[in-house]
């Protein structure tokens, strides 16, 4: 007899299932809802991507799991030219069908299971915990390396710039984490999906030679083109780093048929070679961020961190309303946001407000906040 629910029963509740009542309240606003709850791009996919996709539309054969040489070279060149990551070979890069499937499956692909620890940030994208749960491993949410005590995690996730808070970890801290992991044989995986979405200061890849010492040993970085290039619908991402780990992941993904479609590979290579559309989109988000932040602060809200990413990490103070009260208050104004509790208990007095809405909807939200 087949028993259903054996896997899903190990997973945390899907947080977004709790939001529909607030969405209904926001939709009741006379001027309609302003949905700032999810970081999904709303602006057009750049022409460079669409042209490359169309040119590659005749794709009758199976593509390679490892990806084309053109694509992997584009990744290597982009990491070097944009983020100062040097010395990577083509065999240290692997395309992904978006970054989320990789984050959720990595602990299982590495053979982790009961008794193994997976560390991830205190405030975090829920999929780090989901990946550990799917493998049967123990997830530990912490920002302190001393929290593990005498135990050593098998896998440690970093996320800088952070989703949800937009916090950027300084270079010195990243170097300390790399050294700690190498001393203990811990695989360090840095989720760098928002590395091109920085508004204040500078963000760093852990593969930068000032942090990694010029070696990818024991390190993986994960990138997505969803936010950088409005390619969420294309499902384009990549992992790069430790040669032996990448080879192991390739072997697993070959057997599972986890292959980025050939047209998307061409599109991904094209957008990695084009910075003009990135600058244009960056300025769109910068303007929306300024409008929304100004309105929120005028309405009595406080913005914490948020120096990067596509969100404003918003509160009314540690002794103020809890996150669900803030969600409700904003829903009454027709504005839907995500409660900070979705990202861990440390977010219980914050909400995450996305910049991913049209100029018209951002202006509508600002008008409601300041009226």
pLDDT in tens, 282-339: 999 999 999 999 999 999 999 999 999 999 999 997 788 999 999 999 999 999 999 9
Residues 266 and 282 occupy one common structural domain: no
Q: Which of 132, 186, 123 lies closest to 160 in space, CA to CA?
A: 123
Is position 3 within any domain?
Answer: no
CATH of the domain at 330: 3.90.1150.10
DSSP state of 12: P
- Answer yes or no: is 133 within a domain: yes
Whether residue 49 lies inside any domain: the answer is no
Q: 16 with 70, same domain? A: no
Q: Is residue 38 part of a domain?
A: yes
Claim to verify: residue 303 and residue 189 sit in the same structural domain = no
Asked if residue 227 is part of any domain, the answer here is yes
Among 274, 304, 333, where does a domain finish?
274
CATH of the domain at 118: 3.40.640.10
Are 302 and 366 in the same domain?
A: yes
Q: Give yes or no for residue 7 having a pLDDT over 70.
A: no
| pLDDT at residue 197, as a whole number | 96
Which helix (H) or strand (E) is 278 found in, with range?
helix 276-298
What does the pLDDT look like over 356-366, one tens digit per residue? Answer: 999 999 999 99
> At 17, is the pLDDT very low, low, confident or very high (cuts 50, 70, 90)?
confident
Q: Are residues 137 and 212 in the same domain?
A: yes
Task: Flag whether 332 is in a domain.
Answer: yes
| Residue that is last in its domain, among 274, 303, 337 | 274
Q: What is the reported pTM?
A: 0.94
* Same-domain pairing of 264 and 308: no
If phi > 0 it is left, if psi is from -120 to 50 it is alpha, else beta; for residue 80 that is alpha
On whether residue 245 sits in a domain, the answer given is yes
Average pLDDT of the segment spanning 5-23: 75
- Looking at the fold, whether 224 and 283 belong to one and the same domain comes out as no
Secondary element (H or E) of residue 106: helix 99-109
Based on the fold, state whether residues 311 and 298 are members of the same structural domain: yes
Q: Which of 237, 135, 254, 244 lies closest to 194, judged by CA?
A: 237
Residue 183, Cβ density class (10 Å: 0-12 exposed, 13-18 middle, ≥19 buried): exposed
Is residue 266 located within the same domain as residue 352?
no
pLDDT tens per residue, range 211-270: 999 999 999 999 999 999 999 999 999 999 999 999 999 999 999 999 999 999 999 999
Weakest-pLDDT range from 43-52, 225-234, 271-280, 313-322: 313-322
d(CA 224, CA 232): 9
**Same domain for 198 and 258:** yes
- Domain-terminating residue out of 274, 299, 331: 274
Q: Which residue has the higher pLDDT, 123 or 18?
A: 123
Domain enclosing residue 85, as ranges:
56-274
Residue 50 lies in a domain: no
**151 secondary structure, DSSP code:** -
The number of folded domains in the chain is: 2
The sheet that has 219-224: what strands, in order across it? 93-96, 237-241, 219-224, 187-191, 155-159, 117-120, 138-141
């Amino acid at each position: 007899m087949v028993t259903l629910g054996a896997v899903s029963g190990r997973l945390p509740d899907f947080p977004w299932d709790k939001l529909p009542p607030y969405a209904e309240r926001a939709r009741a606003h006379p001027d309609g809802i302003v949905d700032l709850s999810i970081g999904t791009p709303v602006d057009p996919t750049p022409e460079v991507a669409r042209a490359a996709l169309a040119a590659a539309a005749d794709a009758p054969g199976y593509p390679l799991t490892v990806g084309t040489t053109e694509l992997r070279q584009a990744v290597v060149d982009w990491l070097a030219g944009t983020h100062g990551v040097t010395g990577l070979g083509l065999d240290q890069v692997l395309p992904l069908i978006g970054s989320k499937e990789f984050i959720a499956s990595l602990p299982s692909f590495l053979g982790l299971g009961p008794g193994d620890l997976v560390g991830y940030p205190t405030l975090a994208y829920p999929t780090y915990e989901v990946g550990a749960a799917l493998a049967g491993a123990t997830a530990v949410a912490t920002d302190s390396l001393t929290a593990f005590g005498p135990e050593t995690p098998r896998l440690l996730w970093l996320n800088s710039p952070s989703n949800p808070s937009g916090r950027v970890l300084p270079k010195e801290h990243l170097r300390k984490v790399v050294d700690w992991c190498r001393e203990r044989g811990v695989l360090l995986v840095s989720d760098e999906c928002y590395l091109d979405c920085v508004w204040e200061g500078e963000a760093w890849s852990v593969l930068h030679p000032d942090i990694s010492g010029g070696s990818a040993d024991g390190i993986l970085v994960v990138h997505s083109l969803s936010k950088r290039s409005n390619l969420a619908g294309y499902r384009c991402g990549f992992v790069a780093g430790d040669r032996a780990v990448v080879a192991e992941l390739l072997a697993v993904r070959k057997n599972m048929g986890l292959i980025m479609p050939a047209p998307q590979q061409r599109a991904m290579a094209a957008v990695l070679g084009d910075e003009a559309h990135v600058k244009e989109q960056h300025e769109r988000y910068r303007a929306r961020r300024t409008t929304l932040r100004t309105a929120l602060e005028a309405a009595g809200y406080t913005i914490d961190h948020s120096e990067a990413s596509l969100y404003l990490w918003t509160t009314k103070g540690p002794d103020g309303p809890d996150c669900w009260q803030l969600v409700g208050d904003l829903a009454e104004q027709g504005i839907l946001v995500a409660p900070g509790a979705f990202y861990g208990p440390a977010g219980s007095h914050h909400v995450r407000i996305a910049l991913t809405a049209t100029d018209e909807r951002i202006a509508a939200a600002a008008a409601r906040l300041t009226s």
